[in-house]
Chain A
Amino acid sequence: MENIMALPCEVLVDILSRVSLKHIHQLKAVSRPWCRTISSPHFRRLYNMKSMHRSPALVVQSGCVCYIERDGIREPRVHITISAMDLAGENEIQNQFSFERVGLKYSSFVSFSLLIFQQKLCIPATGETKDLPDLSLPSYSFDVGYTPSTNSYKIVHLFGANKLSPSYGYNKTGEVLEFGFETLTLTDGGPIPSSWRSLTHREWFSYKVHATCVNGHVIYWLVGNGDEKDLHIISMEIENEEFLTIGCPKEDNNDKPFGHGQLVDLNGSLCFAYYSKELSRVDLFLLKDPKNQTWIKEYKIKLPGMPDKFKLLGYIPPNEDNNGEIIINSPPCLLYNIEGERYRRIPVRSLNRFCVGLYYDRCFSLESTGLNLQSEGD
């Protein structure tokens, strides 16, 4: 009857932007106007912008390799299951995506919205797999930034610029190597550009400790030169591709920089986390001003009995039940409440998992969406 006719488009958009991505995809089948609304770039951008402020889901990826006999040849196949847990609600685990690929199990997450897999790019949310253009070799690592206003990703590929050096794979002498960067911009609706865009910028270091992308728009690499104590951070702005070198925060009593640590996006700021085993404590330094290299020690987390290998995954913005929590995967997975100085465990099925991270629901596809309905009207 007149109900939905009277529902103005902007209200429908507002309502639908609060529905889960999986459900949104299904609701395209309701009617042509709904399909058009959901498929429109305007809706998709709005949906993704809201997603930045929503609580992210925690994703657990599990993969298993099986072999299938085909024409007498045993063909390896990897079955990847990605389960997501709603961290804002009742910590319910939902099987999000599941797909099978021919080939070995090697994969690299560039973020939990994109997966790079033997020169292929996979969007878990839509199950799409596409070939990547040829890479500069030797390939070193991938990172990704995201721009909500254009709903586009930029993959940054770090590669060895000196093809003659054998040390990129395993740099046991701590030799300082030359690295180059190339980027690939992915826009919603595709297609993937036919080649990587090479940057003239070069960096020199021995190895990468850790990398993170803050707020979608700056990538930080924590890298080392030879000796374990000699670390610094390289940053790259996603939009203008400007690079900056940033020193690590220094210890309290002497001027020595910390020897080891990790980087994490803490509510839109770069955080350097330093774990002191003697003190059973993680100190969190926030980068207040990248140009002047000002670090401020903002929080101390006391976590007795923390295993040596733990990873800070990120931050959950305040919601009805919580006033901001840090997610730590040690395992088990812990949520640390900063104000309350307490933590709680989150139940993560230990199902052959090899990856845990944060996932944001985003409307993004490498192909145009909908039943080719865009052509009519509008």
Chain B
Amino acid sequence: MASSTTGEKKILTLKGGDNEEFILEESLVLQSELLKNMVKEERVSSIPLPSIKSKTLVKIIEYLKKHAELTPSNKEEFKNFEKEFVNVVLEELLDITVAVNYLKINGLLEFCCQAVADRIKDKSVEAVRKIFRIESDFTPEEESEFRKETPEAFEGDLDDTTN
């Protein structure tokens, strides 16, 4: 992960949730509105991000690097990278999405939200509950009313595997 110092490029340290440190060029993190403001206003050299798992941070830094290298000639390659990028278990994808939202990396947020939406496409209510780990908080009467009103919502794709 760590990149060597070349010329006068500014170096920044990001600290993930499990105290793992990531050293990278400051220019890379400017893609994040949140970090950009922090760097510009406070001139910090180390930013703690305790709410983001290191595993998630590794992925996001990988994206920032690829995105910084994006030119008109490797557009196709970048598209493939993006596709691979979201091709992870849904739990991880949700972690990434939440972190990206927090960091305010707008282009990537759009892409992640679309990827999550594609994953839950046509899934039944039960499957969606399992995926997002939600317990129904409706009364049995309300629940049965839903089942009566839109039976197909409970018959759809029951598959909650999302890999």
B158 interface contact, C-beta 8 A? no
* A2-10, A71-79, A199-207, A236-244 - the one binding chain B: A2-10
A68 interface contact, C-beta 8 A? no
Q: Contacts A11-B97, A19-B121, A29-B146 given; indicate if A3 touches B133 (C-beta within 8 A).
A: yes
Main secondary structure of the interface of A (DSSP, over half): helix
Which B residues are in CB contact (< 8 Å) with A3?
A: 91, 94, 132-133
Query: Which residue from A10, A15, A16, A30 sits with its C-beta under 8 Å from B129?
Result: A30
Contact: B91 with A29, CB < 8 Å? no
A26 to B152, CA, bound (A): 8
Contact: B98 with A8, CB < 8 Å? yes
Which B residues are in CB contact (< 8 Å) with A10?
A: 101
Q: Contacts A14-B109, A14-B113 given; indicate if A31 touches B136 (C-beta within 8 A).
A: yes
Which A residues are in CB contact (< 8 Å) with B122?
A: 23
B11 interface contact, C-beta 8 A? no
Which A residues are in CB contact (< 8 Å) with B109?
A: 11, 14
Binary CB contact string for chain B from 133 to 151 against chain A (1 if under 8 A, 0 otherwise): 1111110001101110010
Binary CB contact string for chain A from 240 to 273 against chain B (1 if under 8 A, 0 otherwise): 0000000000000000000000000000000000
Chain B: interface residue total (CB-CB under 8 A): 34
Query: Which residue from A6, A18, A23, A32 sits with its C-beta under 8 Å from B138?
Result: A32
Q: Contacts A19-B120, A27-B125 given; indicate if A4 touches B97 (C-beta within 8 A).
A: no
Contact: B134 with A26, CB < 8 Å? no
B12 interface contact, C-beta 8 A? no
Which A residues are in CB contact (< 8 Å) with B113?
A: 11, 14-15, 18
A98 to B150, CA, bound (A): 14
Binding site for A on B (CB under 8 A): 91, 94, 97-98, 101, 109-110, 113-114, 116-117, 120-122, 125, 128-129, 132-138, 142-143, 145-147, 150, 152-154, 156
Question: Which 4 A-B pairs have CB atoms at the shortest separation, nearest pair first?
Answer: A26-B153, A18-B117, A29-B146, A4-B132
Given A3-B133, A32-B137, A371-B145, 20 other A-B residues pairs in contact with their CB atoms under 8 A: A3-B91, A4-B132, A7-B94, A7-B132, A11-B98, A11-B109, A11-B113, A15-B97, A19-B117, A19-B121, A20-B121, A23-B122, A25-B150, A26-B153, A27-B125, A27-B153, A29-B143, A30-B129, A30-B134, A31-B137
- A and B contact pairs by CB, cutoff 8 A, 25 listed: A1-B133, A3-B91, A3-B133, A4-B133, A4-B134, A6-B98, A7-B97, A7-B98, A11-B101, A11-B109, A11-B113, A14-B110, A15-B116, A18-B114, A19-B120, A26-B150, A29-B153, A30-B125, A30-B129, A30-B132, A30-B136, A31-B129, A31-B134, A31-B136, A31-B138
